[in-house]
């Protein structure tokens, strides 16, 4: 547990059992220099003696008669530096630490994200209470970082929860907790989903013992002028169905609801921060399983939008659930949609584990999301929505089939989604960055909460009234 407070005390004046001194390109910051002068150059001497260069994340702990100091390499990215510092501090036993805020917002966000742990199922918890005082920080910057981090934490938790615990019903229960923040939450059960005519979503769900849930969220603060609608993939587990995945690919498929988790996390943050726009959220939550009731290859499904789809691969299930959610969002009056999904392995082959693929049916909307992601520090890169590949989705018996061939798989998946929407759509394929197998500056292995920060920046961008 990490707690952040703003303070006006400088490194020299402040009283804390540990003070962090930033080192950038081998140099102390001006505040660090003042402190060093007070200590008769002790810090710089120690740096020289230890050959301390101050590279990103490099640290040197000094215990002196004047107190304890941690020299810490800043690097280029303040947010990442915060994450690394939080992880370094977690290994030291100081309950209270004073640190120069520099740019308080990204630093605070990095500190909070870097301190994230998922130890709910561990007998031994390593987490200690740590209070950080950020010298020179504006309290409002810390409040914003806390609001954003709360959403990212929640999205990570939901992804990290095992699939036997986080069933579609449990995901819906989690969504209902947002009512406490004033968000309207409606959960449709199997009967209601069927009555609506979401035949594609239902088909994916029908092989599971756990019934599906359709989650509809609405955050509508008074006086909102703008509106944003979010759709997230909500597969609480994807076995592949009869097009069964091999073990290695299936191992992380509890994370196949990461898009939905990002939608929930972003809505939570939006409400905590009181963002002044209306946000709709839609998650078709279900499990893709194998059983005597499961959908088959060759099945023809009727979607909510009316189009029929021939199933040629039961592992291309995400798009089937998503097109019904997209059609529903449009029925609810969505004017622009941002959709997030762990949709294809193809996107991971193209862009690797750290970069999400961005597809846009309208250039301006695509650029807005791209810019927002950059500001948020989340990596996305555009791929073309190449219409020439639409013919790969032609079916001899239905309006469409649910897969193309091996080539351009992320693109044909995006084209499939685009067939079901008329308003501007941005599709973020987050299959790579949603889940990580190795720890990084901003968090441990597992769910990353990818997308929450981008969505919040998009929302801020839509309501920002300050002239550029």
Shortest approach of ligand BES to residue 314 CB, angstroms? Answer: 8
Q: Give catalytic status of residue 319 as yes or no.
A: yes
What's the rounded Cα separation, in Å, for the pair 167 and 212?
Answer: 9
* 316 lies in the site for ligand BES, by CB under 6 A: yes
Contact status, residue 210 vs residue 287, Cβ threshold 8 Å: yes
Q: Which of residues 275-314 bind ligand BES (CB under 6 A)?
A: 313
What's the rounded Cα separation, in Å, for the pair 180 and 360?
Answer: 34
Backbone dihedral angles phi then psi of residue 27, each to the nearest 5 degrees: -115, 145
CA–CA distances in Å: residue 342 to residues 15, 144, 238, 275: 47, 27, 11, 26
Binding mask 350-389 for ligand BES (x = CB under 6 A): ----------------------------------------
Shortest approach of ligand BES to residue 294 CB, angstroms? Answer: 15
Shortest approach of Zn ion to residue 157 CB, angstroms? Answer: 20
Binder of residue 345, out of Zn ion, ligand BES, none (CB less than 5 to 8 A by kind): ligand BES
* 348 lies in the site for ligand BES, by CB under 6 A: yes
Question: Closer CB to Zn ion, residue 238 or residue 457?
Answer: 238
What's the rounded Cα separation, in Å, for the pair 317 and 300?
Answer: 13
Task: List, in sequence order, every beta strand (DSSP E) within 86-212.
Answer: 96-100, 130-135, 184-188
Q: Give catalytic status of residue 374 as yes or no.
A: no
From candidates 59, 239, 321, 346, binder to ligand BES by CB under 6 A: 346
Q: Which of residues 105-134 bind ligand BES (CB under 6 A)?
A: none
* 141 lies in the site for ligand BES, by CB under 6 A: no
Binder of residue 431, out of ligand BES, Zn ion, none (CB less than 5 to 8 A by kind): ligand BES
Shortest approach of ligand BES to residue 315 CB, angstroms? Answer: 4
Backbone dihedral angles phi then psi of residue 236, each to the nearest 5 degrees: -70, -20
What's the rounded Cα separation, in Å, for the pair 167 and 189?
Answer: 13
Which of helix, strand or coil describes residue 282?
Answer: strand
* Apex 95 CA angle, 51 and 74, nearest 5: 35
To the nearest 10°, report the CA torsion of 153, 154, 156, 157.
110
User: Which among 24, 146, 227, 245 is annotated as catalytic?
Assistant: 245
Question: Closer CB to Zn ion, residue 256 or residue 457?
Answer: 256
* 315 lies in the site for ligand BES, by CB under 6 A: yes
Q: Which of residues 414-453 bind ligand BES (CB under 6 A)?
A: 431
Binding mask 201-240 for ligand BES (x = CB under 6 A): -------------------------------------x--
* 259 lies in the site for ligand BES, by CB under 6 A: no
Shortest approach of ligand BES to residue 431 CB, angstroms? Answer: 4
Report the DSSP beta bridge partners of residue 283. 215, 232
Count the helices and strands in the chain (H runs, E runs): 15, 20
Residue 66's nearest CA partner among 30, 10, 15, 21 is 15
Q: Which of residues 324-343 bind ligand BES (CB under 6 A)?
A: 342-343
From candidates 256, 287, 330, 378, binder to ligand BES by CB under 6 A: 256
Backbone dihedral angles phi then psi of residue 298, each to the nearest 5 degrees: 105, -20
Alpha helices in 161-280 (DSSP H): 168-176, 190-196, 199-205, 247-250, 258-273
Which of helix, strand or coil describes residue 16?
Answer: coil
Residue ranges that bind Zn ion, judged by CB under 5 A:
235, 238, 256, 315, 317-318
Residues that bind ligand BES (CB under 6 A): 238, 256, 313, 315-318, 342-346, 348, 403, 409, 431
Catalytic residues: 245, 319
């Amino acid at each position: 547990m990490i707690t952040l407070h703003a303070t006006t005390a400088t490194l020299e004046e402040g009283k804390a059992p540990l003070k962090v001194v930033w080192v950038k390109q081998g140099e102390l910051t001006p505040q660090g220099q003042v402190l060093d002068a007070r200590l008769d150059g002790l810090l710089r001497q120690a740096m020289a003696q230890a050959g301390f260069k101050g590279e990103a994340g490099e640290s040197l702990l000094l215990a002196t008669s004047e107190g304890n100091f941690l020299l810490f390499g800043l690097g280029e990215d303040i947010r990442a530096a915060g994450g690394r510092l939080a992880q370094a501090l977690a290994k030291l036993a100081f309950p209270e630490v004073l640190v120069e805020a520099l740019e308080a917002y990204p630093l605070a966000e990095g500190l909070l994200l870097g301190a994230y742990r998922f130890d709910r199922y561990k007998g031994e918890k390593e987490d200690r209470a740590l209070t950080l005082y950020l010298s020179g920080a504006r309290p409002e910057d810390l409040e914003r970082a806390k609001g954003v981090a709360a959403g990212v934490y929640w999205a990570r938790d939901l992804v990290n929860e095992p699939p036997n615990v986080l069933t579609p019903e449990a995901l819906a229960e989690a969504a209902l907790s947002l009512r406490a923040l004033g968000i309207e939450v409606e959960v449709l059960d199997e009967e209601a989903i069927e009555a609506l005519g979401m035949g594609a979503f239902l088909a994916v769900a029908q092989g599971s013992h756990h019934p599906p849930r359709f989650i509809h969220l609405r955050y509508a603060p008074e006086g909102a002028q703008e509106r944003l609608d979010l759709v997230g993939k909500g597969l609480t587990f994807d076995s592949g169905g009869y097009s069964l995945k091999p073990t290695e690919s299936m191992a992380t498929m509890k994370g196949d609801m990461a898009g939905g988790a990002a939608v929930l996390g972003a809505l939570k943050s939006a409400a905590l921060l009181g963002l002044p726009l209306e946000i709709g959220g839609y998650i078709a939550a279900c499990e893709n399983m194998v059983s005597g009731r499961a959908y088959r290859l060759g099945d023809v499904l009727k979607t909510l939008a009316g189009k029929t789809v021939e199933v040629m691969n039961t592992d291309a299930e995400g798009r089937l659930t998503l097109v019904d959610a997209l059609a529903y969002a449009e029925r609810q009056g969505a004017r622009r949609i941002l959709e997030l999904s762990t949709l294809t392995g193809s996107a991971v082959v193209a862009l690797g584990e750290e970069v999400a693929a961005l597809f846009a049916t309208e250039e301006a909307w695509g650029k807005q999301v791209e810019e927002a992601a950059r500001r948020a520090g989340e990596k996305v890169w555009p791929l073309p929505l190449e219409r020439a590949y639409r013919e790969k989705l032609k079916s001899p018996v239905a309006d469409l089939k649910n897969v193309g061939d091996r080539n351009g798989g992320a693109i044909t998946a995006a084209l499939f989604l685009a067939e079901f929407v008329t308003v501007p759509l941005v599709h973020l394929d987050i299959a790579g960055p949603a889940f990580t197998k190795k720890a990084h500056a901003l968090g441990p292995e597992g769910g990353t909460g990818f997308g929450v920060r981008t969505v919040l920046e998009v929302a801020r961008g839509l309501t920002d009234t300050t002239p550029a």
